[in-house]
Amino acid sequence: MENFFDKYIQTVERTEPIKYTGYVTGVKWLMVESRGPRSVIGEMCTIHVGTREEPLLAEVVGLEGNAVRLMTYGDTRGIEVGAEVVASGHVLEVPVGNALLGRVVDATGHPYDGKGEIAAEEYYPAIASPPNPMERKPVDRRIVTGVRAIDSLLAVGKGQRMGIFAGSGVGKSTLISMIARNTNADVNIIGLVGERGREVMDFINRDLGEKGLERSVVVVATSDQPSIARLRAAYVTTAIAEYFRDQGKDVMLMFDSVTRFAHAQREIGLATGEPPAQRGYPPSVFDMIPKLLERTGTNSKGSITAFYTVLVDGDDLDEPITDKVRGTLDGHIVLNRSLAAKQHYPAIDIMASISRLAKRVTGVNSQKACQRVRRWMATYAQQEEVIIDGIYQKGNSLEIDEAIDHHQAIEDFLCQEEYSPSSMEETLKKLSDLSGIEIPPEEYAESPLPQN
């Protein structure tokens, strides 16, 4: 009986007893200006439109005198001057709980899959501060992704934050779907921001699959939705991950993509009068990115391991958003278009990628094996032109000869079919055979032997 009344008690507790109202004075694209209500930046309001059964959700993004500027979470059609605006008395909060598992939600955390309401155990603020750095647990345990190239040469720790950088059509979404299906994390939280509508169902049904969805929560804001919805979807995704981390779980967060999050803030910033700075991005974009990314990682209870995809405009790895994200995260995985053109999947450019915490979560022999393989790869890349042209004569350099002899085996090791997961034991055994360095079974564990 107590559980039956919980949702009604929560509704009463969240209801603002004093109702502050205002009225619409103008509409410019998705920006609605009103006189009143009394409100604060970030507060949720509703606009009562005569042609709609349900009021339109909007968020306060600017204040000037008596004027309130709001961005709507839906189409502005039907709004007229004089329409009533009602303040809710609270900022965007996300309903969270174990009932979210297996569900698809929208940019406000409400059901998007037509499967009925989600019973909320509590509410988390969408916008929150990162954990106190002095209370973060150290990253000292390895997480399994099921992708050989990552688990071997780019090992990732639980609570580490990685970027996946690539141009369009190089395999970012495919890579995160492989990780989502095969990781040993307790829960997957997946944010799809600015995706095409077709890709959402493809990802859920084809890439993630029924088993993957059972332990996942998917947050969706498609490219046709208003910029405020695409922006807040990033915060809702993070808030849901924070809830499960606070339950002591190891969470895998996959966010696609930071670039579209930045585009959404650029649209809002320019609409509210912010001056453009680098390549048309207003200063607020570069302030918001680290505040969002720093919320993941470890805290005193659990961990959020995060993979953020970045759509690299024109394959330029030095463009502003790419550069900002790369400087904030704990490592980066670069997907190479030329590798994809050769049908080398996943198209991970090992020599351009780095995991800054790999040595913390791997054993000594694993590190030696990785160093040897990387050295062969670097040598082959430096001499590739003379090798292919037939200029190099075998026997002139032992180092180059070794690189040539192992080149095809390394390629075979790094290539992996999308639906062929590789366990940690299988990956490290193959790495051991490839490098010729024995990796003891103790290093297969989640927490390898202490470093010498």
Contact (Cβ atoms closer than 8 angstroms) between residue 39 and residue 19: no
Question: Is 295 within a domain?
Answer: yes
**Domain identity same for 64 and 137:** no
pLDDT tens, residue by residue, 72-117: 998 888 899 999 999 998 899 999 999 999 999 999 999 999 899 9
**Domain identity same for 57 and 127:** no
Mean pLDDT, the chain, rounded, equals 91
**Domain identity same for 372 and 324:** no
Q: What is the phi/psi pair of residue 53, to 5°?
A: -75, -40
* Partners of 138 in beta bridges: none
Contact (Cβ atoms closer than 8 angstroms) between residue 60 and residue 43: yes
Cα gap 61→358, rounded to integer Å: 41
**Domain end: 91, 118, 142, which one?**
91
Token code pair at residue 9: 């008690």
Q: What is the phi/psi pair of residue 220, to 5°?
A: -125, 130
Looking at residue 247, the DSSP 8-state letter turns out to be T
pLDDT tens, residue by residue, 219-254: 999 999 999 999 999 999 999 999 999 999 999 999
Token code pair at residue 398: 């032992």
pLDDT at position 337 over 50: yes
HSE-up (13 A, CA, CB side) for residue 110: 6
Query: C-alpha dihedral over 158, 161, 162, 163, to 10 degrees?
Result: 150
Cα gap 59→44, rounded to integer Å: 5
Question: Is 437 within a domain?
Answer: yes
More confident position, 188 or 7: 188
At 50, is the pLDDT very low, low, confident or very high (cuts 50, 70, 90)?
Answer: confident
**Domain identity same for 309 and 347:** yes
**Of residues 305, 424, 307, the one with CA closest to residue 366:** 424
77 contact partners, CB below 8 Å, separation of at least 6: none
pLDDT at position 295 over 90: yes
Cα gap 196→177, rounded to integer Å: 16
**Domain identity same for 232 and 119:** yes
Question: Is 12 within a domain?
Answer: no
Report the CATH number at residue 266. 3.40.50.12240
pLDDT tens, residue by residue, 23-46: 999 998 778 999 999 999 999 999
Range of the domain at 33: 17-91
Question: Is 286 within a domain?
Answer: yes
* Partners of 434 in beta bridges: none
Question: Is 11 within a domain?
Answer: no
**Domain identity same for 123 and 102:** yes
Question: Is 8 within a domain?
Answer: no
pLDDT at position 448 over 80: no
The Cα angle at residue 199 between residues 127 and 101, in degrees rounded to 5: 50
**Domain identity same for 171 and 156:** yes
pLDDT at site 8: 59
**Domain identity same for 104 and 77:** no
pLDDT at site 28: 86
318 contact partners, CB below 8 Å, separation of at least 6: none
pLDDT at site 447: 79
First to last CA, the chain: 58
pLDDT tens, residue by residue, 138-156: 999 999 999 999 999 999 9
Q: Percent of the chain at pLDDT above 90?
A: 73
The Cα angle at residue 257 between residues 177 and 209, in degrees rounded to 5: 20
Cα gap 195→290, rounded to integer Å: 22
Cα gap 320→314, rounded to integer Å: 12
Report the CATH number at residue 416. 1.20.1270.330
Question: Would the CA dihedral through 99, 102, 106, 107 be positive or negative?
Answer: positive
**Domain identity same for 34 and 157:** no
> Any idea how long the chain is?
452
Q: How many domains does the chain have?
A: 3
At 2, is the pLDDT very low, low, confident or very high (cuts 50, 70, 90)?
Answer: very low
More confident position, 47 or 16: 47
More confident position, 209 or 59: 59
**Domain end: 333, 361, 389, which one?**
361
Question: Is 155 within a domain?
Answer: yes
Question: Is 450 within a domain?
Answer: no
Cα gap 292→319, rounded to integer Å: 19
pLDDT at site 292: 97
pLDDT tens, residue by residue, 310-335: 998 766 777 899 999 999 999 999 99
Contact (Cβ atoms closer than 8 angstroms) between residue 117 and residue 111: yes
pLDDT at site 13: 60
pLDDT at position 59 over 90: yes
**Domain identity same for 191 and 46:** no
CA 142 to chain centre: 19
**Domain end: 91, 118, 139, which one?**
91
**Domain identity same for 288 and 397:** no
pLDDT tens, residue by residue, 354-381: 999 999 999 999 999 999 999 999 999 9
Report the CATH number at residue 63. 2.40.10.170
Choose the most confident range, by mean pLDDT, from 4-13, 55-64, 242-251. 242-251
**Domain identity same for 268 and 355:** yes
